Copies of this chain bind each other. A is one copy, B any other.
Amino acid sequence: MLIVMTPEAQEEEILAVAARVQSLGYDAKILPGAQRTAVAVTGNQGSVPADRFASLRGVQKVVRVSAPYKLVSREVVPDETVIRFPNGVAIGGSHFQVMAGPCSVENRDQILEVAAEVKDAGATFLRGGAYKPRTSPYAFQGLKLEGLKLLAEAREATGLLVVTELKDTETLPSLVEYADVLQIGARNMQNYALLEAVGKQPRPVLLKRGMSATIKELLMAAEYIVNAGNPNVILCERGIRTFETMTRNTFDVGAIHMLRHLTHLPVIADPSHGIGIWHGVPALARAAVVAGAQGIIVEVHPKPADALSDGPQSLKPKRFRKLMDQIGRLRAAMAEPDA
């Protein structure tokens, strides 16, 4: 349930509403908005008595929220979330960003070379895995702490922000120290201990859709993070598992639209995992952009054939540069008046 305050409501009135909510045994979350503040009521198993709030001072209306996700819903928070970084980069709302880099950080030369290339092509974030969750215990598991340090060095060299995957709560402090955005991978989308942990630290979170997660479950996973205290969650469509085997996953471009429709959080796309074949990555990236994605995350590697992981789906820097040009044109075409 959502208790919407009048635009003129005073802070003390808002706090009084929150206190009443808590006195009835529920949780209250104060949601400031551009126009007016609202108080979300959560933690209720059954229905909440709306009439206990409707007559309080400063309350404009009491709205029942039909979706099981509350804090991430546009019903509850109509203003789009824009996440702003110290270097001035922003994502969400009308702000579009490109994240690029290798699947894994492999060595110093590799990451510095890719960083320089993708920066030059227009990316604003460097991606790269330091702690790699792998299907096989015998596969390359990443450079770990050394990888984080190399990412930080690449940031120093280029000004790019760093996004890298968090595998577990043990390594969380290191990632908070070295990374700008913490990625929760598809396999961990319903690892609730991890969701709660990233909800209690200061970095924005890039939450990837699980390979068989519904759109609603992705929103519920985001709800865990926001409910734990971190409002800065970026959602990422990266393809789902279906019967089709020709592509690595089935990229659900319709989910991008539905997510934009349902939530105020930024929504981006990972076309590399979405198709799993380098020559298909540009087509999916373009599709994501015109379907409403507010960013893309793309695997770029100087020598895909030598990559320690995900080589077949990595773009060479030259091909990435061409994609950046196409995206620029498409975004311009979408932005024309009357478009």
Contacts and interface: CB of A to CB of B under 8 A. Distances in A.
Interface string A125-137: 0000000011111
B215 A244 contact: yes
A280 interface: yes
B188 A191 contact: yes
9 residue pairs, one from A and one from B, having the closest CB atoms: A212-B212, A168-B193, A287-B287, A257-B283, A187-B190, A333-B333, A286-B290, A329-B333, A283-B291
Q: How many copies does the complex hold?
A: 4
Contact of A290 (B212, B283, B332): B283
A227 interface: yes
A332 B330 CA distance: 9
A161 interface: no
11 contacts: A68-B135, A133-B190, A135-B217, A137-B224, A137-B227, A167-B192, A215-B244, A247-B255, A289-B290, A330-B334, A333-B333
Nearest to A71: B137
Contact of A138 (B44, B245, B333): B44
Interface stretch (A94-102, A235-243, A295-303): A235-243
A183 interface: no
A271 to B, nearest CB: 9
A200 interface: no
Nearest to A289: B290
B253 A284 contact: yes
Given A169-B168, A283-B290, A192 B133 contact: yes
A243 B257 CA distance: 18
A258 B249 CA distance: 13
A254 B283 contact: yes
Interface in A134-161: 134-140
Given A220-B135, A253-B287, A283-B254, A329 B339 contact: yes
